[in-house]
Amino acid sequence: MSAYRNRSRPTGSQVETPTLKLVPGRAVLGGYQRFTVGPKTLERSRNNYAAKFGALQKTFRVAKRLGCTSLNDLGSSNGLSSFLAAQEGFQQVKALDHDTQCVSVVNRAAQHVHLPVTAQQWSFGQAVPAADVSVMLALVHWVYSCTATLGSFKAIARYVATTCRRAAIVEWVAPTDPAIKAFNHLRFNRGVQKDPYTLAAFEAGLKAHFTHVRLLLKGTPTRWLYLCTKGPTAAADFKALGTVVPRPVSKPVRRPALKASRPLVTRLSAAQAARKRRAALAQSRLAAMGVVRRR
């Protein structure tokens, strides 16, 4: 049994090497997550996952209103969620990842743009001081039995619950997800797998270690966000999130190619972002039919 690491990288599992360019007032990050961050601006270079980051932003706002001030970003990569949380007013944000190059670029970027984000090298399962909120996005399929060897959703949820006091936002990644189909994360360390990798087992794991678990967003057919809260009142407290979704699950659509950076996720509501996407898609379909010329 051994935890997977990408041999072409000094540490970590992603194939993408993080990059950083510092320009006056902004940091441009590249790699798995590509975005430009300033003290108050956050611009993603790819317009994918707009709904996911819209839902995240809304959840951060509600959490902030409830008095949450600290956040652990588990498997933070280049810290996109961490920077978003800091801009939403979280005062202590920890970006945690086993990839030392990610840790380095996040720390340098945070210092450059004066946001309260601190990155730290960390392995999933390692004890960390609990924050008010934890986020764990696009990670469950890696830590099940590939880069970590917990081998069950109950064990994963038990650990995540130790990293937060009030709530965790955890992303389900279905076995049919294109990333799993391509890399087959679940082929590693089959011997440690105690539960089946199924949605039912995932939800049962969360329910065993949080007081209340609810679906926040069906962002894509294979990636769903769950809000897991702790304590008798937390579920009621977070009720204000009632309007965040669920969005109907639809087949993935081909989006028009992006030529330049898209506007800030922090400046668009999820509904606005969805409207813009629909308009762009309609325009590209018309262009394909020769009705209009694409700019």
Ligand X SMILES: C[S@@+](CC[C@H](N)C(=O)[O-])C[C@H]1O[C@@H](n2cnc3c(N)ncnc32)[C@H](O)[C@@H]1O
Q: Which residues bind ligand X (CB under 6 A)?
A: 12-14, 32-33, 75-77, 80, 97-99, 102, 122-124, 137-139, 142-143, 147-148
In the complex with ligand X, the residue whose CB is nearer, 113 or 136, is 136
Provide, rounded to whole angstroms, the least separation between the CB of residue 245 and ligand X: 17
Q: CB of 103: closest distance to ligand X in angstroms?
A: 10
Helices 100-113 and 80-87 pack at an angle, to 10 degrees, of 30
Q: Closer to ligand X at the Cβ: 124 or 238?
A: 124
Half-sphere CA count of 37, side-chain side, radius 13 A? 29
**Shortest gap between Cβ of 287 and ligand X (angstroms)?**
31
Number of H helices, E strands in the chain: 9, 11
Min dist. Cβ of residue 77 to ligand X (A): 4
For ligand X, give the closer residue by CB, 88 or 99.
99
**Min. distance of Cβ 16 from ligand X in angstroms?**
9
Nearer to ligand X, 176 or 242 (CB): 176
Q: Which residues of 262-278 are buried (b: 16+ CB within 10 A; e: fewer)?
A: bebbbebebeebeeebe
User: Using CB atoms, what's the residue nearest to ligand X?
Assistant: 75
Task: Report DSSP letters for 201-234, one per residue.
Answer: HHHHHHHHHSSEEEEEEEEETTEEEEEEE-STTH
In degrees rounded to 5, what are phi and psi of residue 120? -145, 140
Looking at the Cβ atoms of 13 and 70, the one nearer to ligand X is: 13
